Amino acid sequence: MGHLRAFVVTLLALDAVVVVVGTYLLPPDPVTQLFLVGPPLLFAPVVAWWLVYRDGFERVQALVESDGDGR
């Protein structure tokens, strides 16, 4: 049950980021926003699945930590 909860929270967070960024970067035309925000919203479940079920969070954390050690 813990993975499902993490998946749902991650998916909602990704969706919120896509909508907020799309709102600020795109013109206020609904058709343009649909075409440019729609595909990332459809791709968000794949990214959320990778982050939660395929240890994506650990991989991203290791990548960030390896960049931050001064090398």
pTM higher than 0.85 for the full model?
A: no
> With contact defined as beta carbons under 8 Å apart, do 10 and 51 qualify?
yes
> Which residues form the domain of 36?
3-69
Token duo for residue 2: 């813990």
d(CA 53, CA 50): 6
State how many domains the chain has: 1
What average pLDDT does this structure show over 25-48?
A: 90
d(CA 58, CA 55): 5
In which residue are the tokens 């794949």 written?
A: 46
Evaluate if residue 68 carries a pLDDT over 80: no
